[in-house]
Amino acid sequence: MDEALLRTLTPTVIGVLVRRGADFAAAEDAVQDALVEAVRTWPEQPPRDPKGWLVTVAWRKFLDAARADSSRRHREVRVEFEPVPGPGETVDDTLQLYFLCAHPSLTPASAVALTLRAVGGLTTRQIAQAYLVPERTMAQRISRAKRTVSGVRFNQPGDVATVLRVLYLVFNEGYSGDVDLAAEAIRLTRQLAARIDHEEVAGLLALMLLHHARRAARTGPDGRLVPLAEQDRTRWDTRLIAEGVDVLQAALARDRLGEYQAQAAVAALHADARTAEETDWVQIVEWYDELLRLTGSPVARLNRAVAVGEADGPRAGLAALAELDPALPRYPAVAAYLHERDGDLLTSARLYAEAARSAPNLAERDHLTRQAARLNARLRD
């Protein structure tokens, strides 16, 4: 069973049903039923035309559901023929599905879930496992999202920036359950890049590739987080780095800078350094300046303070940090790092402990707690 093929075909088949008159929610349900049938029958009887098979079975599932639903008995359903794949079925609706699933009326969590289901072809159970929530909870979330977008015309123009934000949210979830969301986000972004010529789509793809290239080195054998400066760079994936840099350079050459290109440029500079000491922090500060010009992001300001601390010394970094809101996520952790570099171990230990208490996950909390314990041990010696 080629699961990758099924995932690739899912949005196309949904699009075919929508163009035939099914609303989005009904089309998506019918395609999911057809996918279940494919998983059951294809291993023994693989079809010669997988897409045509899915279209036919999904359309029949939709018609069966429409007939069985008493509230739709008076709805006009085109049942007089069973269309077969042909010239009229070659339209690729995947891009429109991206826009629909990232509709502004949806919450970010709902947009992510619907994208993974309709465009990614994942099951509700897989998505629930990835987000560590009960399957019933995820099913309700997806159902609400489908109801929200069912009245949206399929040919309405979409917002690329919203789609990219949704894909980046998927990527940042990383991995849990049996679905690697980081890899899935890269697959979907590659798919989007093949369908739309947009420099920020390329920028996001480059950013994902460059971050993903360091994945193997981010944790030690015991599962502990390994900071960037301490990572074994021989474990970085040089193939992904080379691809990410090539994609980024092509995007930057178009001279229409966006936030994902700027973030990818920072990641590329980290990837280019053979050792932590060789990192070009001056250029990184310049790219953060570009990113701030584009977005004004508080998170970018926080990261810039770290870069300034590396480029111009910890005092300069602390001065940059003093201009920011201490309530920002990870502010205490950044302050702790800069104070340690400045030699103030007592303040640093206190801030690491404070940062650990508000850490967003167990791995980060463990890392920050160990940093505080390390400094307290030095202070006792």
3-state secondary structure the chain: CCHHHHHHHHHHHHHHHHHHCCCHHHHHHHHHHHHHHHHHHCCCCCCCCHHHHHHHHHHHHHHHHHHHCHHHCCCCCCCCCCCCCCHHHCCCCHHHHHHHHCCCCCCHHHHHHHHHHHHCCCCHHHHHHHCCCCHHHHHHHHHHHHHHHCCCCCCCCCCHHHHHHHHHHHHHCCEECCEEHHHHHHHHHHHHHHHCCCHHHHHHHHHHHHHHCCHHHCECCCCCECCHHHCCHHHCCHHHHHHHHHHHHHHHCCCCCCHHHHHHHHHHHHHHCCCHHHCCHHHHHHHHHHHHHHHCCHHHHHHHHHHHHHHHCHHHHHHHHHCCCCCCCCHHHHHHHHHHHCCCHHHHHHHHHHHHHCCCCHHHHHHHHHHHHHHHHHHHC
> Given pLDDT bands bounded at 50, 70 and 90, which one contains residue 75?
very low
Bridge partners of 179?
176
More confident residue, 82 or 372: 372
Give the pTM.
0.81
Q: Is residue 106 domain-shared with residue 190, that is, in the same domain? A: yes
Q: What is the pLDDT of residues 117-150, one digit of tens each?
A: 888 888 888 888 877 789 999 999 999 998 888 8
Q: Is residue 113 domain-shared with residue 33, that is, in the same domain? A: no
Question: Does the pLDDT of residue 82 top 50, yes or no?
Answer: no
More confident residue, 223 or 288: 288
What mean pLDDT is predicted for residues 214-226?
A: 92
Residue-range definition of the domain harbouring residue 303: 280-328
State how many domains the chain has: 5
Which of 54-58, 82-86, 162-166, 336-340 shows the highest mean pLDDT?
336-340
Domain boundary among 43, 66, 91: 91
> Given pLDDT bands bounded at 50, 70 and 90, which one contains residue 98?
confident
> Given pLDDT bands bounded at 50, 70 and 90, which one contains residue 181?
confident
Q: What is the pLDDT of residues 301-352, one digit of tens each?
A: 999 999 999 999 999 999 999 999 999 989 999 999 999 999 999 999 999 9
Q: Is residue 308 domain-shared with residue 284, that is, in the same domain? A: yes
Q: Is residue 98 domain-shared with residue 164, that is, in the same domain? A: yes
Q: Is residue 251 domain-shared with residue 303, that is, in the same domain? A: no
Q: Is residue 212 domain-shared with residue 119, that is, in the same domain? A: no
What mean pLDDT is predicted for residues 93-106?
A: 82
> Given pLDDT bands bounded at 50, 70 and 90, which one contains residue 155?
low
> Given pLDDT bands bounded at 50, 70 and 90, which one contains residue 154?
low
More confident residue, 336 or 113: 336
Q: Is residue 168 domain-shared with residue 86, that is, in the same domain? A: no
Q: Is residue 82 domain-shared with residue 12, that is, in the same domain? A: yes
Question: Whole-number mean pLDDT of the chain?
Answer: 87
Q: Is residue 217 domain-shared with residue 259, that is, in the same domain? A: yes
Q: Is residue 348 domain-shared with residue 323, that is, in the same domain? A: no
More confident residue, 332 or 179: 332
Q: Is residue 127 domain-shared with residue 175, that is, in the same domain? A: yes
pLDDT for residue 142: 92
